[in-house]
Amino acid sequence: MSEHLASALAAHLAASGNLTAPWHEHYTVVPRHHFIPDVAWVVPDETGAEPYAIDRNQDTPRWFQAVYSDASIVIQLDAGTGDLRTGKGTPTSSCSAPGIVFPMLRALDLLDGHKVLEIGTGSGWTAALLSARLGSHRVTSIEVDEDVAARAAEAMARAGYTPQLITADGADGYTPNAPYDRVHATCAVERVPYAWVRDTRPGGVIVLPWRPTYGHGLLARLVVNNNGQAIGRFERTASFMMLRTQQRAIGWTPHDAEDATAELTTLDPRTIINAPEGAALAIAALAPGVTQTVITEPGGDVSLLLSQADTPEGAWAAVDYSAGLDAYTVTWWGDHNLWAQVSDAYLQWVSWGQPARTRFGITVTPEDQVLWLDHPRHRVPPYA
């Protein structure tokens, strides 16, 4: 059963361009099912598809079908206290969807003899794939959670791979085995830990999911220069759970509503909601720390809710769209108007000629992390 399903998934991934040589060969010799626990929570990649639980002991065929689908499979909730049978809890470890795993591995541009540091062992599948490509002795993988690390070690041993596994905070890197030719992060970060740059040799590559407070996560590919900097661009969207030390509370709490200001805007909030990736990057740079939540009502009304990450008592704004109106209500509270900040950033992006995501890049130095447009010298200034 598993061989047939694995072949079907490989064909699907190859047809979409997500599984190419030499990773097709390594996919074949590192079966995914070795790394998935009996009970897990499946998050399909298809738009609108609902997550669901799988239990190998209760329904083996369905378990294998899920394992060999292009889905992310959550293997831990709430650091082990959540219930995988119901999906109640916040995902804290997963086996990422194959449709993003292999493009990320391809972005590493591995060569024979390369030494790799992986941040976030998780299920152990990608560490095993890296070991199949390079040899276990050239792979170091860090996992912050002891239980997850132990299960990954057992799974990799069963599959015949023995990379060096470190239980520690991946944000600190792992200097004893440095320098690395490649760093591969399987968790998202808002600020790239400089330790990853420090531990990478000049010319080395760091591939990571970058997740600003505003907008969607993006896959960043950075190259380290001889001045201790990492410079690169964003290759595609990539949705990953955050590095644990960078997890943040995001919520919208309209406190002090009686003191809020109400005004009108002629800018349709849906323009901001549906703005392209380039606009979201401009907003992330020009309105740092602002997060968005979107609520769509059955009748077509839409609310854009803005708040400040990790600041439940901070500024907030709500912009409400209803069909047939020429102006839309903005309600805001705080020491500054978050709607004005976000909408000004969007219109600034328009004035730049609406640059696409591919024109933006990021530079990481020992002191700072900056977003730039077209060239590393063209820093996108902070909002003023």
From the number of C-beta atoms within 10 Å of its C-beta (0-12, 13-18, 19+), residue 70 rates as: middle
Alpha helices in the chain (DSSP H): 2-15, 23-29, 60-67, 98-107, 125-134, 146-159, 194-198, 269-273, 277-286, 338-351
Q: Note the pLDDT of residue 37.
A: 97
Q: Are residues 148 and 267 in the same domain?
A: no
60 pLDDT more than 60? yes
382 pLDDT more than 60? no
**258-324-303-313 Cα dihedral, nearest 10 degrees:** -20
Q: At what angle do helices 125-134 and 146-159 cross, to 10 degrees?
A: 40
Q: Are residues 148 and 266 in the same domain?
A: no
pTM over 0.75: yes
Q: Note the pLDDT of residue 32.
A: 97
Q: Are residues 310 and 340 in the same domain?
A: yes
257 pLDDT more than 50? yes
Q: Note the pLDDT of residue 311.
A: 81
Mean pLDDT for 147-155 is 97
Cα-based angle 184, 190, 192 (whole degrees, multiple of 5): 50
Q: Note the pLDDT of residue 333.
A: 95
Reported as a single tens digit per residue, the pLDDT across 308-340 is: 887 878 899 999 999 999 999 999 999 999 999
Q: Note the pLDDT of residue 1.
A: 61
pLDDT band at 256 (very low <50, low <70, confident <90, very high): confident
222 pLDDT more than 70? yes
* 16 contacts: CB under 8 Å, gap ≥ 6: 99
CATH number at residue 65: 3.40.50.150
Mean pLDDT for 56-70 is 97
Distance CA 282, CA 346 (A): 7
Q: Is 145 contained in some domain?
A: yes
Alpha helices in 222-301 (DSSP H): 269-273, 277-286
Q: Are residues 86 and 186 in the same domain?
A: yes
Q: Is 249 contained in some domain?
A: no
Q: Note the pLDDT of residue 23.
A: 96
Strand order in the sheet with 316-321: 261-265, 328-333, 316-321, 302-308, 290-296
The rounded Cα 345 to chain-centroid distance in angstroms is: 23
Reported as a single tens digit per residue, the pLDDT across 88-145 is: 999 999 999 999 999 999 999 999 999 999 999 999 999 999 999 999 999 999 999 9
Reported as a single tens digit per residue, the pLDDT across 161-201 is: 999 999 999 999 999 999 999 999 999 999 999 999 999 99
Range of the domain at 291: 257-351
pLDDT band at 46 (very low <50, low <70, confident <90, very high): confident
Last residue of a domain, one of 244, 277, 292: 244
Catalytic residues: 96
Q: Note the pLDDT of residue 47.
A: 77
Number of domains in the chain: 2
Q: Note the pLDDT of residue 384.
A: 31
pLDDT, averaged across the chain: 94
Q: Are residues 12 and 148 in the same domain?
A: yes
pLDDT band at 383 (very low <50, low <70, confident <90, very high): very low
CB 167 within 8 A of CB 152: no
Strand partners, 362: 232, 371
Q: Are residues 163 and 23 in the same domain?
A: yes
Block residue for tokens 């292009």:
70
Mean pLDDT for 16-20 is 95
Q: Are residues 178 and 295 in the same domain?
A: no
Distance CA 283, CA 270 (A): 15
CATH number at residue 268: 3.30.160
